[in-house]
Structure 1
Amino acid sequence: MSEELLINVTPRETRVALVENGMPQEVHIERASRRGYVGNIYRGRVQRVMPGMQAAFVEIGLERAAFLHASDILRPPPALADGNGDPPAPAPTPSITELVREGQEITVQVAKDPIGSKGARLTTQLSIPSRYLVLLPYSQVIGVSARIEDDAERARLKGIMADLMAPSGMGCIVRTNAEGQGEPALAEDVDYLLRAWELVQVGSQRARAGQRIYEDLPLPLRALRDLLNSDIEKVRVDSLDTFERMCDFASQFTPDLADRLEHYPGDVPIFDLYGVEDEIQRAMRREVLLKSGGHLVIDQTEAMTTVDVNTGSFLGQRNLEETVYRTNLEAAQAVARQLRLRNLGGIVIIDFIDMVDPEHRRQVLRTLEKALSRDHARTNVHDFSPLGLVEMTRKRTTESLERQLCEPCAHCGGRGSIKTAETVTYEIFREITRAVRQFEASQLMVLASPKVVSRVLEEDSAAVAELEEFLGKSIRFQADDQYAQEQYDVVLL
C-alpha cells in the first residue's frame, strides 16, 4: 500500500493529510490562534470539588476550567501481593474529597481538548511521548502496543525496555513504530524522554498555577513523530522553512527515514494536486456517495454519531439479499474511512441495511474491523444488535473536522432546518393579533424576509384582508433583505 504525508503550511494555519493509494484518509489541522492542548502539562489550581460527580474543576489558564475525574488521579500503587501470594484485588476509587481539596496546586496533563461546551479533560498520570516510546514516570509497567502482533517481537522489545528502564525505576509503552528497532535507537529515545522528564520536574517546582510546564511539538513535527513509519514513502512539505526544521528533527530522531522528506515547490497548491481540498469539502456534507450507487448519511450529534446505509440507485444483478450484502460491504469500508477523515469519535451507531444471512453479517463486520485496523485512534466494534445496528466506539481527543472548520448556522442555530414561509406567516398573524390587543394603533407594518412577504401577498392575501376586517386595522407588509426567513418585526404606527 502506497502512503504519503502532505504538509501544507500558511502563516496562520498548518494542515497535514495522510494519503493512502491516492485517497486522503486523515486530515489534521492546527491554527496559530487555537492550537490543541492534548499532551501539554500545566501547573493547575483546584477551583471546585464536586463530590456528586467524583470530579474537580481545575484552573490551568484556559478559557474554561478543566475537568479532572477521581479515576484519573494518580494514587500510590497497591501491594504486589497479599499474604497468600495472590495478586491483590483492584482497589476502589477513593472519594474525590480524599484526593484533592479546593485551592490545592497540582501538576496535570491534558488528555482531551475542550470539545463543544465541555472543558479540557485532565489526568495526573503524566506521560511523555517520543518516536518509539511513551514514558510513564509514575509507573513501572512495560507495555507493548497491541498492533505489534508477533509474540517473539513483543517479547524482544519488552526485554530490551526492561533493561533500559530499570535504572530510572519508571515504566513505558512501546509504540507501534518501534517494531524491528534495535537497542541503540530505543536507548536514544529513553535518553530524550528522561531529559524531558527532568525539565518537567524542574518546571513543576517553579511554575505558578495556570502556567504551562511542557508543550507538545507543533503539528509538522508531531506528524513525523506519530505518523511517519516504514509504510510512508514520501513526506511532501510546501514550506521551505518548515521543511528544513523537519529535516533537522528527522536527522536527530528518525535518521533512517530522513531521506523521505521532500520539499514541494510547485505552483499548484499541494492539497489541490492530491485532491485533498475537494475531499475536505465533501467531508462537510451529510451524504457520502458509494461507487455502487448507494450512499451513507452521517449525522454528528452531541451524544453520538449515526451512520445510515442506503442502497440508493444500486439494483444489483442477482437478488435483493446479494444487492444488500454488496452495498453493506462497500459501506463498511467507506464508514471506516469517513470516521478517520472526519475525525469522528465517541459512540458511533451504524445502521447497515438488514441482512437475513448470518454469514453475510459476519463478513460485513469483519470487513469493518479490517478497515478500522489502519486507524491510529483506538476503536472497539460490537456485534450486530437485535435491532440490526452495529455499535462501536472510537477514541476522541480533539474536535471533529467539521467542528474545527464550521460553526452553527446563524439562521437555524445549528438545528439543520428553518421554519417554512407558511409557518412564519401564521406566526406573524398571531403576533399582529397579540399586539393590537395590548397597544393602541391605527395601522401596523410588518417587516419580514422577501420570501415570507411574497407568500403573504400572493397566497394569503385573502387571510390578510379577513384579519384587517376582524381587527379594524390596516396592515402593510414590507420586504427587507436583511431579515432571515424566521425573522420579522410587527411595528405599530
Structure 2
Amino acid sequence: MTAELLVNVTPSETRVAFIDGGILQEIHIDRESKRGIVGNIYKGRVSRVLPGMQAAFIDIGLDKAAFLHASDIMPHTECIADNEQKQFHVRDITELVRQGQDLVVQVVKDPLGTKGARLTTDITLPSRYLVFMPGAAHVGVSQRIDSEEERERLKQIVAEYCDEMGGFIIRTAAEGVGDEELAQDAAFLKRLWSKVIERKSRGGTKNMLYGELALTQRVLRDFVGESLDRIRVDSRLTYDSLVEFTAEFMPQMTSKLERYTGKQPIFDLYDVENEIQRALDRKVELKSGGYLIIDQTEAMTTIDINTGAFVGHRNLDETIFNTNIEATQAIARQLRLRNLGGIIIIDFIDMTSEDHRRRVLNSLEQALSKDRVKTSVNEFSALGLVEMTRKRTRESLEHVLCGECPSCRGRGRVKTVETVCYEILREIVRVHHAYDADRFLVYASPAVGDALKSEESYSLAEVELFVGKQVKIQIEPLYNREQFDVVMM
C-alpha cells in the first residue's frame, strides 16, 4: 500500500492531506489569517501572578494574555527516568516569577476558544532527527526506538555534541541514521539557538524570537521517518521552496517531491474533500452496519458505539465483540483525522466476557500505535467506559472549519415549533398587561407562523379572547425557528 502527502495551496490557505492505502488519515490546515503559533518562542513580560491558580499571565503581544503554570517552569525532564523525576518538585509560583519580569517562553498550545496560549519556559527546538534542549546536560532517546543496541549507539554519537549550550533528545526518525546526518542536525540547532539568544539580547519585550516552520515544511519534518512514497504539490512556488528546504535539511525526501499539474483538483484524487465533510459529521458509519456517535465538548470528547443494522451471524456476544473490534480501528482514524485531543471517553457496547474486553483494549492500543501524537489509554472503568487522553496542541478540525450555529448558539439543539408557539402566546399576554395596544402583529419564521395558523390556531384564538385584541401573524422567511417579534399596533 502506498503512502503519500497531497499539498493543496491557495493564497489564503494551505492544506496537507496524508493518504495511506488510498484512505485519508490526517488533514492539516493552515490559514494565513489564523496561523498556529505552537513552537514559537517569545520574550514576554509577566502581567499578573495568580497564587491561587499557581500560574501567571504573560503578555507576549497577542490579543489574549498567555498562560504559564508553575509546573511548566521546570527543567528538562522528558527523558529522565521516572524514579529520578520524583526529585523535581513544583515550587510556589510566587517564588518563580514576579509581576513585570521579562521571560523567554515557548508556546505549547495554541489559543483554544476563550483560552489564551499555554506556555512553558522549557524551551525545545526540533529538527529532522534531534530536539535541542538549551541548558540541559543530558541525551534522551525516543521510547519508540526499541533496540537497546541502537539506543546506545545513538546516545554515544549525540553525547559528543552536548556542551554548555545544551543537550538533545533523539527522535524516532534517527533510527539507523549515521554520524554525519546527526552532526549536521546538531550544528543546525545550535546555530538556530544562537540566533534566538542574539535576538533576545537586542532588548525590548513582547518580541517573537523564533517562529515555527510553515505548515508544509513542518509536516515534511514530522513525516521524515515515515515510509512516504511521494509528495505531490499543486503550487509551483511551494514546490520550489520545498525542493530547496529538503535539499538542505532532508535530501532523502527531495526525490519524492512531485509537481502536480493535473486538470482535476489535487484533493479530488482520493475523494479528500468529501472525507473532510464526513469528518465533521457526528455519525460515522462502520462497514458492518454499526456506527459511532462522536460529540466534542469544551471539557472532553465522547464516542458512543452502536450495532445499528449489524445483526451478526452467531450470537449476541460475538456480534457485540465484532462491532467493538471494528470500532477501535475507526476510532483511531477519526482521532487523527479530526485532530481530537484532551480527555476522550469511549462507550463501547457492554461485553460480559473479560477476554473480549481485554482483546478490544489491545486492538484499540494497537490501532493508536500508528498515531504520531502521544496517547494514553486506561482500563475499562466500573461503568464499562474506556478513558483515554490524546495530546492536544492545535485546534481540532471542527474548530478550524466550523463556527457557532447562529440558530442554537452552540447548544447543538433548537427549540421545537410547539415550544416557540407557546413562547409567543405568553409574550402576547405579557405585553398586553404591560402596555395598552389596539392589536398585535407577530413576526415569526415560516414553520412557526404556519403552526400558529393551523394546529395551534385554537390556542391563538383563546389568547385573542383573553386579551380582547386581534393577533395577526406575519411570516418572515429570513427568521430562524426561535426568532420572533411581538409588535403592538
Q: What do residues 150-204 of structure 1 show as CA deviations (whole Å, max 9, x unaligned)?
A: 1111111111111122x34511111111111011000000010000000000111
Q: Report how far residue 91 of structure 1 moved.
A: 4.0
Counterpart position of 2:155: 158
Structure 2: stretches of 5+ with no match in the other structure: none
- Aligned pairs for 1:238-253 within 5 A: 238-253=234-249
Q: What do residues 132-165 of structure 1 show as CA deviations (whole Å, max 9, x unaligned)?
A: 1110002112111111111111111111111122
CA contact (8 A) 1:207 1:213 kept: no
Relative distance call for 1:402 and 1:157 in structure 2 (3 A) is: same
Q: Are residue 21 (structure 1) and residue 21 (structure 2) matched?
A: yes
Relative distance call for 1:44 and 1:343 in structure 2 (3 A) is: same
Counterpart position of 2:68: 68
Q: What do residues 436-483 of structure 1 show as CA deviations (whole Å, max 9, x unaligned)?
A: 101011111111111101000101212222211111111111111121
CA contact (8 A) 2:172 2:225 kept: no
Q: What do residues 90-121 of structure 1 show as CA deviations (whole Å, max 9, x unaligned)?
A: 24322111111111111111010011111000
Counterpart AA for 2:464: E
Distance 1:432 1:61 in 2: 51
Distance 1:351 1:377 in 2: 22
Distance 2:85 2:296 in 1: 42
Distance 2:204 2:268 in 1: 46
Counterpart position of 1:149: 146
- Aligned pairs for 1:24-423 within 5 A: 24-74=24-74, 90-165=87-162, 167-423=163-419
Relative distance call for 1:207 and 1:371 in structure 2 (3 A) is: farther
Relative distance call for 1:322 and 1:487 in structure 2 (3 A) is: same
Counterpart AA for 1:477: I
Counterpart AA for 1:60: I
TM-score after normalising by structure 1: 0.96
CA contact (8 A) 2:76 2:136 kept: no
Q: What do residues 22-72 of structure 1 show as CA deviations (whole Å, max 9, x unaligned)?
A: 111111110111100000001111111100000001111111110000111
Distance 2:262 2:411 in 1: 42
Distance 1:349 1:371 in 2: 16
Distance 1:178 1:248 in 2: 22
Counterpart position of 1:457: 453
Structure 1 segments of 4 or more deviating over 3 A? 74-77, 86-89
Distance 2:7 2:55 in 1: 39
TM-score after normalising by structure 2: 0.97
Relative distance call for 1:88 and 1:341 in structure 2 (3 A) is: closer
Q: Report how far residue 208 of structure 1 moved.
A: 2.0
Distance 1:15 1:95 in 2: 43
CA contact (8 A) 1:139 1:170 kept: yes
Distance 1:441 1:169 in 2: 80
CA contact (8 A) 1:289 1:296 kept: yes
SS of the aligned residue for 1:456 comes to helix
RMSD of aligned residue pairs (Cα, Å): 1.6
Moved more, 93-102 or 167-176: 167-176
Structure 1: stretches of 5+ with no match in the other structure: 81-85
Distance 1:292 1:21 in 2: 20
Distance 2:228 2:88 in 1: 44
CA contact (8 A) 1:126 1:138 kept: no
CA contact (8 A) 2:130 2:170 kept: yes
Distance 2:244 2:76 in 1: 40
Q: Report how far residue 396 of structure 1 moved.
A: 0.2
Distance 2:436 2:240 in 1: 75
SS of the aligned residue for 2:43 comes to strand
Moved more, 191-200 or 221-230: 221-230
Q: Report how far residue 381 of structure 1 moved.
A: 0.5
Q: Report how far residue 274 of structure 1 moved.
A: 1.4
